Amino acid sequence: MPLVTTKELFDKCYGKYAIGAYNVNNMEMARAVAEGCLESKAPFIFQISRGARKYANPKLLKAVIKGISDTYPELVFAIHLDHGTLDACEEVLSEDPMSFTSVMIDSSHEPFEENVRISKEVVKLAHLKGVSVEAELGMLGGVEEDIAVSEENTFLTDPEDARKFVESTGCDSLAVAIGTSHGAYKFKSKEPKLHFDRCQKIKENLPENFPLVMHGSSSVPEYLVEEINKYGGKLEGSKGVPESYLPEVYKYGVCKVNIDTDLRLAWFAGMRKHLIENPTNFDFRPTFEESMRRVKELVINKNKLLGSAGQC
């Protein structure tokens, strides 16, 4: 089972394509993501948030991922802790045997020096275990885990701060704020715009081939929102990152693109449609199978857009 670190994935993809990092919370979502990547022959990243660990139980979720890797030995992927706190990173790094090959320490809401201190501490612990570390600098809007940031309080990553941060912490990749935001309601008061000019300056300020990460990159596809609303949902004013941006991101040093909201939208579009069209059904399996099919299709499409399809 080619379980790898994110550093290994990024060393291979840098300047050629980007890799989809997909958040999963249960067996069905994990299986749909895995099968989508298997069919598209794409390396990928299983992202496990603190919320996912709380929901599914860390041991059970770990067993699900192991079961998937045993069932599909052709898969090439990393297992990544998404938006970890210092406590969460310490917890997963103390596991024996290790299940995570990569962790993210998110102290981006802290002052610069405190962000450096905490991130540096996690890097030290993780590198002793052979685990890659992603850190974050800048502030994205939206809601992620237990942190909500309003649009007016977001700020882009400063290129010079990025240089100092990477030098000081020794992190392996850096999540940067270039205009994306978390959730299904991005760009509430303006048209979608990503600042790739800022991303290029950050890239130029960092060591050669240093991997950057885009959070909040779901596109919130209109067809999924329309279908959810058609079958009883109430998603109004939702807006995401246009998919037309995705094939270009690798040119700016972006190696990892986080996808979470789009998976949920695909899941619920399939679920709502199936339940409405099959009102006598009380077997959850056909409903979940339809949701899994929709997620799988979405993942295949994302991998094609990112250029990772066919790389395995």
Residues with a catalytic annotation lie at: 82
User: What is the rounded CA–CA span in Å between residue 49 and residue 148?
Assistant: 16
DSSP code per residue over 134-178:
EEEESB-BEEETTEEE-GGG-BPPPHHHHHHHHHHH--SEEEE-S
2: left (phi over 0), alpha (psi -120 to 50) or beta: beta
Instruction: Answer whether 27's CB lies under 8 Å from 310's CB.
Output: no
Contacts of 146 (CB under 8 A, 6+ apart): none
- Using DSSP, state whether 48 is helix, strand or coil: strand
In the chain, the amino acid numbered 113 is E
- Using DSSP, state whether 155 is helix, strand or coil: strand
Torsion, Cα 274 296 292 23, to 10 degrees, reads -120
| Count of other CB atoms within 10 angstroms of residue 70 | 9
User: What is the rounded CA–CA span in Å between residue 302 and residue 299?
Assistant: 5
18: left (phi over 0), alpha (psi -120 to 50) or beta: beta
State how beta strands 102-105 and 77-84 pair: parallel
In the DSSP assignment, the letter for residue 212 is E
Instruction: Supply the Cα-derived Rg of the chain in whole angstroms.
Output: 19
